[in-house]
Amino acid sequence: MTLIQRLLAKGIIDREKASLFETEVKEKNLKEEEVILESGVIGEKDLFKLKSQELKIPLKEILPEEVSLRVLEFIPEESARYYKIIPLGKEDGILDVGMVYPEDLANQEALNFISRQGKWKSRVFLITLSNFDMFLKQYKTLKKEVEKALSQLERDLEDEKIKPGGMPSVAEFERLAEEAPITKVVAVILGHGVDGRASDIHIEPTGTNLRVRYRLDGILHSSIFLPLRLLPAIISRIKILSALKIDETRMPQDGRFSARFNNKSVDFRVATFPTVLGEKVAIRILDSNQGLKSLDDLGLTGRNLELIKITIAKPYGLILVTGPTGSGKTTTLYTVLRMLNKEGKNIVTLEDPVEYFIDGINQSQVKSEIGYDFASGLRHILRQAPDIIMVGEIRDEETANLTTHAALTGHLVLATLHTNNSLGVIPRLVDLGVKPFLIPPTLEIAIAQRLVRKLCQDCKKKVEPDNQTKEIILQSLASLPEARRKEINLSKFEIFEPQGCKKCNSSGFSERIAVFEVLEMTKELAEIVLHEPSEAKIAEEAFRQGMITMKQDGILKALEGITTIQEVIRVAEEK
């Protein structure tokens, strides 16, 4: 029974009106709902309740603000507009989809095609036309706000009579960068990064347009594409905010600035980089709350936690944190510095760049372009009579030797190094020219880490692992220290999978946590360093110590429901 026939059966319209509606639907190629609502014989809500009963599909009322932009990415805007389908939320691995015309076969086929492409299952709900229209207005909030500013900019360019394809001078771009439209575009881009809890914003030229991407929980997501001709003006605006040289486009530049969003001050670290298509800019959003984390919040537990607590209580020695860029090394160092920041301690840091400002700590930014690098900075630091020194990164032989001697002469030194794991720290120091006999009396612990995404604790789902996953878990934990292995029931265990809910923006994940391994300097390890400092020999000693590898630490966290096995394998798989 059609909607018109149902209205007739209920006595809401007579036969003449029903015939008129049917004729209008056929001649004007309109939907029944459109014709009925235009006549005003019944309200939209009541009409769609009838439709819900007829189709046996539940009617769902939901506010657009309750649906995240990340959920809307599941269905492209063009498809949503044409087929009148909207993603509403994702829970238990199933995407809730609102449809105005779920009875339409073309719409059903479109949804099936999109779901197959995206490899997700759907659950269909009926939504009203007005609810759908509200969603369309909200669908690409960022895109709409930017487009509004772009329209104003285009009018400004026309007023200035700049020829299409023509490139304004540096002076003109400097002026444009300060004007309202470009200022608005940049403000919207930054604001959405802050609101969306992104860690980075990447603005980069492609062959045809200007792409803006946000990094959320370690994963980059494309958000909007802007006209390529706006690149110089947008980059110029960011350079002005960061006090960088506008006319320098051939060399990378680094800067930072602060801005207020939602009544709080947010710091941004900016890095420009010249490419063959034009300048690219990466903006790190610096959340000061990251530096307020405790060692437990970072993901340190058991032996790892105890070793670090014992080591940072010592008056001197070297603590090295290792891992690739973006693995959370700086956050770990800042957490330790905050714990050590006492009235009676003189703490001095050398950083490139200074990410977070900490009251009570003397932080210094190295500037290699003027000869003020880590090595020269270290020589000056020692004249400041410090108790604790932090060196942002050991990059060369001179810095490695100065850091080692500082730890040897009564200072507690924290630094970072680039190696794949904690086992590689000692061979790397030797490669950098540190004499092997100086390593045992200085190096206290080597900490290696990676970041994994945390499961949303509101929607994670407990599942039975398949045989392949069980094999991975059992093989990885086979070499776990005996004491730790006794705490786990390896005959029966469960893991967790992401589902998606409103609290995690339907991603199934919320924030990140580190997986660690900590190598301790012992008498046995000192003998190895002096005679045969190979990774194989160091690995034997690490096993004797009871060290847990990053992969094992990650799998233990997965068994506790903190992360997933897939996340651990992605970031901590031994190569």
For every one of its 575 residues, what pLDDT tens digit does the chain have, with 9 covering 90 and above? 788 888 888 888 888 888 888 888 888 888 888 888 888 888 888 899 999 998 999 999 887 667 766 677 788 878 888 999 999 888 877 899 999 999 999 999 999 999 988 888 999 999 998 888 877 765 655 566 666 666 666 665 555 544 444 445 556 555 555 556 778 888 888 888 887 788 899 999 988 888 889 888 788 887 778 888 888 888 989 999 999 998 888 899 988 898 887 677 888 999 999 999 999 999 999 866 555 678 999 999 999 999 999 999 999 999 999 998 888 898 999 999 999 999 889 999 998 888 888 888 999 988 887 888 888 888 888 888 899 999 999 989 999 999 999 999 889 999 999 999 999 999 999 999 999 999 999 999 999 999 999 998 888 888 888 888 999 999 888 888 887 787 787 777 889 998 877 677 677 888 899 999 999 999 999 999 998 888 899 999 999 999 999 999 999 999 999 999 999 998 887 54
Residues 215 and 104 in one domain: no
pLDDT number for residue 43: 84
Which of 271, 286, 301 is the last residue in one of the domains? 286
Half-sphere exposure (CA, 13 Å, Cβ side) for 161?
A: 0
Do residues 362 and 348 touch, judged by C-beta distance below 8 A? Answer: yes
Number of domains making up the chain? 4
The H or E element spanning position 203 is: strand 200-205
pLDDT number for residue 519: 96
Cα separation, 171 vs 470, whole angstroms: 63
Burial class (CB in 10 A: 0-12, 13-18, 19+), 256: buried
pLDDT number for residue 315: 93
Residues 158 and 249 in one domain: yes
> Tokens 């006794």 identify what position?
486
Number of CB atoms found within 10 A of residue 160's CB: 11
Q: Quick check: is 179 in a domain? A: yes
- Where residue 564 falls (left for φ over 0; alpha for ψ -120 to 50; beta otherwise) is beta
Residues 303 and 448 in one domain: yes
Q: State the DSSP code for 59.
A: B
What is the CATH classification number for the domain harbouring 69? 3.30.300.160
Residue 109 in tokens: 């086929």
Q: Quick check: is 373 in a domain? A: yes
Residues 232 and 373 in one domain: no
Do residues 422 and 430 touch, judged by C-beta distance below 8 A? Answer: no
Residues 313 and 193 in one domain: no
Residues 181 and 266 in one domain: yes
Range of 1's domain?
Answer: 1-56
pLDDT number for residue 359: 85
Residues 174 and 83 in one domain: no
For residue 320, give Cα distances in angstroms to 224, 315, 336, 339: 40, 16, 12, 17
Nearest to 363 by CA among 338, 396, 343: 338
Cα separation, 213 vs 222, whole angstroms: 4
Cα separation, 570 vs 453, whole angstroms: 10
What is the CATH classification number for the domain harbouring 155? 3.30.450.90
Cα separation, 398 vs 392, whole angstroms: 14
pLDDT number for residue 170: 54
Sign for the CA dihedral angle at 525, 527, 533, 534 comes to negative
pLDDT number for residue 164: 41
Q: Quick check: is 501 in a domain? A: no
Q: Quick check: is 187 in a domain? A: yes
Cα separation, 74 vs 508, whole angstroms: 14
Instruction: Kindly provide the b/e burial profile for residues 281-316, where b requires at least 16 CB atoms within 10 angstroms of the residue's own CB.
Output: bbbbbbbeebbebebeebbbbbbbbebbeebbeeeb
pLDDT number for residue 177: 54
Which of 260, 286, 312 is the last residue in one of the domains? 286
Nearest to 331 by CA among 297, 364, 301: 297
Cα separation, 320 vs 414, whole angstroms: 6
Cα separation, 327 vs 452, whole angstroms: 9
Residues 94 and 239 in one domain: no
pLDDT number for residue 260: 82
Cα separation, 69 vs 497, whole angstroms: 22
Residues 151 and 245 in one domain: yes
Nearest to 516 by CA among 293, 291, 308, 216: 308
Q: Quick check: is 569 in a domain? A: no
Cα separation, 417 vs 439, whole angstroms: 15
Residues 23 and 42 in one domain: yes
Max CA distance (Å), the chain: 102
Q: Quick check: is 570 in a domain? A: no
Residue type (1 letter), 8 = L
Burial class (CB in 10 A: 0-12, 13-18, 19+), 262: exposed
Q: Quick check: is 461 in a domain? A: no
Q: What predicted TM-score, i.e. pTM, was given to this entire model? A: 0.70
Cα separation, 300 vs 553, whole angstroms: 9
Cα separation, 216 vs 201, whole angstroms: 10
Which of 132, 161, 184 is the last residue in one of the domains? 132
pLDDT number for residue 165: 43
Do residues 158 and 236 touch, judged by C-beta distance below 8 A? Answer: no
Three-state secondary structure of 145-195: HHHHHHHHHHHHHHHCCCCCCCCCCHHHHHHHHHCHHHHHHHHHHHHHHHH
Residues 36 and 96 in one domain: no
221 in helix, strand or coil? strand
Residues 34 and 68 in one domain: no
Q: Quick check: is 253 in a domain? A: yes
What is the CATH classification number for the domain harbouring 298? 3.40.50.300
Helix then strand count (H, E) for the chain reads 25, 18
